[in-house]
Amino acid sequence: MDNTSNSKVVLSTILYYIITYAYIYITSFFIIKYFPNLISNPAVTIATIIGAIAIFLVVAYLTYTLILGCDESGFLQSLGLTTRNLLESLSFSSSSIAIPAIALGIIAYIGGADPVRMIFEDVVRYLENAPPPWFSEVPNHILPLASIAVWSLVGIVWFAFLQVFPLNLLSRVAGPASVLVVSLLFILIYGAPLLTGDWKPDDIVILGVLFPIVLYRYRNSLGAVMSYVLLYEMPVRAAFLQGWGFTALKILVALQALWGLISIIITLQIISRGNRLG
């Protein structure tokens, strides 16, 4: 992309965002307003997500190869779908989730609460009050696996197509400032908040601010997707509770805690190694 003009990159990015925003907001609007019953249909959920991936894949590919004239061999890497910097992306994105969680747990403990108990209570409360409608349509014995599959696809949409790819485009002309642009546009599209009014501080800070910083540095979306699915998403925990019971949830939470601690250690080692090299 080094040989492309700045104006071509900017216009390509604007067009890319127009198409991605239009798909997410238009499909969300029509399903919520005219076909609310379809929300409980897992097939519709999967079809909507796969439709997004298919459309974004075509648009990204055409943008990368035809408009910008880049070699198609680098296309997957432009989406961050590569093993390059996977460990760094995984450890830093996981740390971005684990550190705030630990900080909040310490605050809760100081305030006299049991942070571990709070985790389980939050999952139960979520499952009772606001689970994805399609949970009830999936057999319990495969629900945890189905939830991992669904949010893995969702994670690819969010981080490969709506963070790493536009970062790769805009960073050519805007450098680090591209993080601010991608962060803001991600916050305005994640969960269609302009339509639903659902603004969540944790999503904004972790997924909308910290993740773009990590992905700007390492350009690997796979690590972000893995952290998002297996460490961050409440519906995945809820699926384990509903599908496989409380023991499965306890094992999952324990593994998540271990994963978070190991990620923090690896992140500190990477930072330390970088400082020594610097």
What is the residue-averaged pLDDT of the chain? 92
Global pTM? 0.93
Q: Using one digit for the tens of pLDDT, what is the confidence trace for 154-205?
A: 999 999 999 999 999 999 899 999 999 999 999 999 988 988 888 999 999 9
| Amino acid 161: pLDDT | 97
Report the distance separating Cα 271 and Cα 278, nearest Å: 10
Specify the length of the chain in residues.
278
Q: How many domains does the chain have?
A: 1
Q: Is residue 237 a part of any domain in this protein?
A: yes
Residue 273 token pair: 């190694």
Q: Is residue 1 a part of any domain in this protein?
A: no
200: Cβ contacts below 8 Å, ≥ 6 apart: 191
CB 42 within 8 A of CB 138: yes
H/E run at residue 86: helix 86-110
Q: Is residue 74 a part of any domain in this protein?
A: yes
Residues spanned by the domain of 15 = 6-277
Q: Is residue 20 a part of any domain in this protein?
A: yes
Q: Using one digit for the tens of pLDDT, what is the confidence trace for 58-97?
A: 999 999 998 888 888 899 999 999 999 999 999 999 999 9
| Amino acid 122: pLDDT | 96
Q: Is residue 66 a part of any domain in this protein?
A: yes
